[in-house]
Structure 1
Amino acid sequence: MDANLGRVVVTGAGGRIALTVRAGLRAEADSLVLVDQAPVTDADDNETVVEADTADLDALVKAFDGADAVVHLAALSDEAPLADLLDTNVQGTCNVLEAARRTSVPRVVLASSNRVTGGYPIHHHVFCDEPPRPDGFYGVSKVAVEALGQMYADTFGLQVVALRFGSFEEEPAETRHLATWLSPRDCVGYVRSALTAPNVNFLAVYAVSANARRFWDISVAETELGYKPVDDAARYASRFPDDDPFWHGGPQGGEYATPEALLPYLPE
Structure 2
Amino acid sequence: MAQRLLITGGSGKVATSLRPRLAAPGRTLRLLDIVAPAPVDGSGDEEVVIASVDDLDALTAAFADVDAIVHLGGQSKESDAEDVLRLNAYGTYCVLEAARRAGVKRVVLASSSHAVGFHERDDSYPDGLPADLPPRPDTLYGWSKTAVESLGRLYVDRFGLDVICLRIGLWFPTPPQLRGLALWLSPDDGARLVEACVAVEHPGYRIVWGVSRNTRRWWSLAEGEAIGYFPKDDAEIFAERYVAEFGEPDFEHDPLLNRVGSYWCDHPLGQRMG
Aligned residue among 11, 15, 24 for 1:18: 15
What is the TM-score normalised by the length of structure 1? 0.91
Whether contact under 8 Å (2:140, 2:270) holds in the other structure is no
Aligned partner of 2:219 in structure 1 is: 216
Q: Could you tell me how far 1:68 is from its partner in structure 2?
A: 0.7
Distance 1:29 1:118 in 2: 39
Q: Distance in 2 between matches of 1:123 and 1:233?
A: 20
The more displaced of 237-246 and 109-118 is 237-246
User: What runs of 5+ residues in structure 2 fail to find an aligned partner?
Assistant: none
Rounded Cα–Cα distance in structure 2 between residues aligned with 1:48 and 1:9: 9
2:144 paired with 1:147: no
Q: Distance in 2 between matches of 1:233 and 1:184?
A: 12
Single out whichever of 96-105 and 123-132 deviates more from structure 2: 123-132
Greater alpha carbon shift after TM alignment, 60-69 vs 19-28? 19-28
SS at match of 1:89: helix
**1:193 maps onto 2:187 in alignment:** no
Tell me the CA shift for residue 41 of structure 1: 3.5
Cα distance, 1:51–1:265 mapped onto 2, change above 3 Å: same
Distance 1:28 1:145, change over 3 A: farther
Q: Quote the RMSD (CA, aligned, Å).
A: 1.9
Write the distance in 2 (CA, Å) between the matches of 1:130 and 1:5.
37
SS at match of 1:265: coil
Q: How does 1:52-201 map to 2 (within 5 A)?
A: 52-123=51-122, 125-201=128-204
What residue is the counterpart of 2:49 in the other structure? 50
Amino acid at match of 2:236: A
- Report the Cα offset of residue 172 of structure 1: 1.2
Classify 1:221/1:5 alpha carbon distance in 2 versus 1 (closer, same or farther; 3 Å).
farther
- Residues 36 and 74 in structure 1, CA contact (< 8 A), matched pair in contact too: yes
Share of identical aligned residues, percent? 40
Structure 2 SS opposite 1:235? helix
**Bigger mean CA deviation after superposition, 239-248 or 137-146:** 239-248
Distance 1:65 1:199, change over 3 A: same
Tell whether 2:265 aligns with 1:257.
yes
Say whether the 8 Å CA contact 2:113–2:260 is kept in structure 1. Answer: no
User: Cα gap change, 1:227/1:199 in structure 2, threshold over 3 Å: closer, same or farther?
Assistant: same
Residue-by-residue CA offset, 1:55-92 (whole Å, 9 max, x unaligned): 11111011101111111100211111121100001100
Amino acid at match of 2:120: P
TM-score by length of 2: 0.89
Residue 265 of structure 1 deviates from its aligned partner by 3.2
In 2, Cα distance between equivalents of 1:75 and 1:115: 15
Separation in structure 2 between the aligned mates of residue 33 and residue 235 of structure 1, nearest angstrom = 35
Find the counterpart in structure 2 of residue 229 from structure 1. 231
The 1:69/1:29 distance shift into structure 2, 3 A limit, reads farther
- SS of 1:153's equivalent in the other structure is helix
Q: CA deviation at 1:28?
A: 4.8
The whole-number CA distance in structure 2 between the counterparts of 1:28 and 1:45 is 8
Unaligned 5+ segments in structure 1 are: none
- Cα 1:21/1:177, change in 2 over 3 Å: same
